[in-house]
Amino acid sequence: MAGHPPAPPPGQPGAPWGQYGPRGQPGYPQQDHPPPGSARQPYGPPGGGPPPGPGGPVPPTPNQPPQRRNGILIAGVAGGVAALVVVGVTTWAVLGHAPPYSSAGECDELLTEDVLSSVAGAEGAEVERLDGRPGDRAAHEEYEDWVACRASTDPDEPWTGRDTAVGVTTSLHAPDTEEDDYSEMRRDAERSYEKVLDNFEETRAEVDTREIPTGDGGTAYSVEDTHRDVFGGGRGNKRGGAMFTTRNIRVVIEYSGTSDVSAEEHLETVVDLANAMNRRISRTVETE
């Protein structure tokens, strides 16, 4: 969301200033010295007062307004422009909404090499787009578009805890959610977050959660399932996840590191991944 225009730099020291400008500088009016033998012209209009004494103010030349007045006028105009900029930004923030996205994005533009290189163990992981299970496809029928992406160093057996896996799902809501500033979509997403976390509460798994300001806000969590109540056999016992919305896109992130990665590190990693996905969406996904 435009910043304020920078303040003008402070004035630099220079020649002393009189009432109408710097003394001894070009353009600064000097006292008139008539040539020898000529009569000095009276100061000012007929009937005016005597000329100023030594050290008194020097008058401007005819038809030349004082420089100080111009400075005041310029300062006033600049102040007015700055005020208009501030008012414009405030009006946009109050009345305007960011335009909705027109697609859910592409896996190769979301899980880029730079993103994966920041995740320990995910360097060089293979990225693929998933078709999703029948239940997943049915759940996404209400959306305009959706994409499920996975990057794993062992694509045949991800989520085992022996290797590293990252999953990202983006779901595009109808553009008309812009009309209510996407607030209804955010409330729906928050209810989904609560359901996921409530499911963990009914198990013996240790869960740590954190609210995140990413995009329009969301939640990150880590799960350590020592008793295998959540993930079952053959899968790693630690997992990190994050869910947030950005305009009319809902984002779900899942991360499983190797067994030596702590639950706290899982949480920090998914927070970083959420921020990275928000940046990638804003840079690569087109708007309406």
Query: What would the pLDDT profile of 70-87 be if each residue is shown by its tens digit?
Result: 444 444 444 544 443 343
* Tens-place pLDDT, residues 179-205: 778 888 889 889 988 998 898 888 899
* Whether the predicted pLDDT of 116 surpasses 90: yes
Domain around 123: 107-284
Output the pLDDT for position 63.
54
* Tens-place pLDDT, residues 163-175: 899 999 999 998 8
- Residue 129 sits in a domain of what CATH number? 3.40.1000
Residue 161 lies in a domain: yes
pTM: 0.65
Residue 97 lies in a domain: no
Residue 8 lies in a domain: no
Output the pLDDT for position 233.
67
The pair of three-digit structure tokens given for residue 236, joined into one six-digit string: 């790693």
- How far is residue 54 from each of residues 30, 34, 47, 58, 210, measured CA to CA in Å? 12, 17, 21, 10, 76
Output the pLDDT for position 14.
42
Residue 33 lies in a domain: no
Give CA–CA dist 102/105, Å, rounded.
Answer: 9
* Whether the predicted pLDDT of 51 surpasses 60: no
Residue 117 lies in a domain: yes
Output the pLDDT for position 274.
98
Are 257 and 120 in contact by the 8 Å Cβ rule? The answer is yes
Q: Looking at the 3D structure of the chain, how many domains does it have? A: 1
Residue 193 lies in a domain: yes
Residue 90 lies in a domain: no
Residue 68 lies in a domain: no
pLDDT-derived band of residue 156, with 50, 70 and 90 as boundaries? confident
